[in-house]
Amino acid sequence: MKLTIQVNEGPYQHQSADSAYFFAKAALEKGHEIYRIFFYHDGVNNGTRLTTPPQDDRNVVARWSELAQEHDIDMVLCVAAAQRRGIVDDGEAERNGKDATNMAPGFRISGLGQLIEGGVQSDRLVVFGD
Amino acid sequence: MAEETKKFMYINRKAPYGTIYAWEALEVVLIGAAFEQDVSVTFMDDGVYQLVKGQDTSGIGMKNFSPTYAALGDFEITKIYVEKESLEERGLTLDDLQHLVWEDEDEDWAEKDSIRLVNRAELGDVLADQDVLFNF
């Protein structure tokens, strides 16, 4: 089955960031295809490489990056949500005159159309969040 | 890309200003309107507060985005479901909500009501009929 996953909550604040990760991992292990993972609302905070969790805790962001690299998954941060919350890649830094970037490896920033298109192209859209 | 039309429903369940869900959900609805799917929008639970008329946010320093709902008809979003029990549980009636309309091209642009008041069981049937549910 082809899946698009939407993550609406930030890491550590909310378990849905963890649940979405474990769901994605389990789906891949079962042979399903992940068309896209789209991060929205505070979910875009899953994509900052500046996160520094305590050493005895899981690293939610690094875990996503590894998953994306291992399975070549398209992981998209919503541009409007990312701008509000200060998640920045090179293009965004240039466009908005910011002096730094913080997007983690394996992510890209794009528009909400990517979420809708995921819904159109996939067999199931699975939403994680409140 | 629109080789396939799916039934998309956006479900709004939260009050408008305490969290950003309502506003960012509305952004998804507006962007999604460009994709020519069969779209409907539902307001239930505290989400019914999003449609309450006469909103004034001047005291909280936030943008009042409620006028945007009146534009949904212009985006060809003509099916807006409001759950009856959610209204009743909050002491609200349809009269407390904005009057949302759309213009029917096939009937000389006659103005028609967008809001469909449905009870919980009816809404369940509508949800079961959808292909894609966006839950905010």
How much is the pTM? 0.90
Judge whether A45 is closer than 8 Å to chain B, CB to CB.
no
A57-82 burial code (b ≥16 CB/10 A, e <16): eeebbebbbebbeeeebbbbbbbbbb
Nearest to A104 by CA among A88, A92, A128: A88
pLDDT tens-place string over residues A26-54: 999 999 999 999 999 999 999 999 999 99
What is the CATH classification number for the domain harbouring A93? 3.40.1260.10
Catalytic residue status for A114: no
How does residue B3 score in pLDDT terms, banded at 50, 70 and 90?
low
Check if B20 contacts A (Cβ < 8 Å): yes
Residue B2 has pLDDT above 60, yes or no: no
Residue B134 CA from chain centroid, whole number:
12
Q: Which of A9, A13, A120, A125 to mutate to test the interface with B (most CBs of B within 10 A)?
A: A120
Distance CA B101, CA B71 (A): 9
User: Considering only CB atoms, which chain A residues are within 8 Å of B31?
Assistant: 111-113, 116
B33-73 pLDDT per residue, tens: 899 899 999 999 999 999 999 999 999 999 999 999 999 99
Please name the residues between 99 and 128 in chain A that touch chain B, using a CB distance below 8 Å.
Answer: 111-113, 115-117, 119-120, 125, 127
Average pLDDT over residues B9-25: 96
Catalytic residue among A37, A78, A79, A104, which? Answer: A78
> How far apart, in whole angstroms, are the C-alpha atoms of residue B125 and residue A21?
31
DSSP, collapsed to helix, strand or coil, labels residue B81 as strand
DSSP three-state, residue B119:
coil
* Mean pLDDT, chain B, integer: 95
Sign of CA dihedral A81, A83, A87, A89: positive
Q: CB B63: neighbour CB atoms within 10 A? A: 10
Phi, psi of B112 (to 5 degrees): -125, 150
Domain, as residue range, for A59: 2-128
Q: Do B28 and A116 touch (CB under 8 A)?
A: yes
Q: Which residues of B touch A81 (CB under 8 A)?
A: 24
Q: How far is B107 from chain A (nearest CA, A)?
A: 30
Q: Give the residue carrying structure tokens 């905010």.
A: B136
Q: How many domains does chain A have?
A: 1
What domains are defined for chain B? 7-135 (3.40.1260.10)
Sheet arrangement for strand A124-128: A107-110, A75-78, A33-39, A2-7, A124-128
